[in-house]
């Protein structure tokens, strides 16, 4: 992965995290009108799921797996015996 692409992805995760914290702040401290609660909870749930996916990519096995795949792709083939 190129350095620019990695930096872009890290910034996207950072911005998603800021958005997640803002949504949590709105739900717990500002409040949501009763008429919009179902839609707001659906939005928060969907956003939280995608935020969790992005965090899982960087801090769980997916990023390591992608790095491993790139290493294998660059490796020289082994000659059969």
pLDDT tens digits along 18-36: 999 998 898 889 988 899 9
pLDDT tens digits along 39-60: 988 999 999 998 888 888 777 7
pLDDT at 2: 64
80 dihedral zone (left: phi>0; alpha: psi -120 to 50; beta): beta
Output the CA–CA distances (angstroms, integers) from residue 3 to 6, 7, 17, 31, 32, in the order listed. 5, 6, 21, 41, 41
Domain ranges in the chain are 3-67
8 Cβ neighbours under 8 A, 6+ residues apart = none
pLDDT at 29: 92
pLDDT at 61: 61
Q: Mean pLDDT, to the nearest integer, of 66-72?
A: 75
Is 78's pLDDT higher than 90? Answer: no
């Amino acid at each position: 992965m190129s350095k620019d692409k990695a930096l872009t992805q890290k910034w996207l995760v950072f911005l998603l995290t800021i958005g997640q914290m803002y949504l949590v702040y709105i739900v717990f401290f500002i409040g949501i009108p009763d008429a919009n609660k179902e839609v707001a909870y659906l939005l928060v749930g969907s956003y939280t799921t995608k935020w969790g996916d992005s965090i899982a990519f960087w801090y769980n096995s997916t990023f390591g797996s992608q790095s491993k795949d790139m290493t294998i792709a660059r490796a020289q083939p082994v000659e059969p015996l």
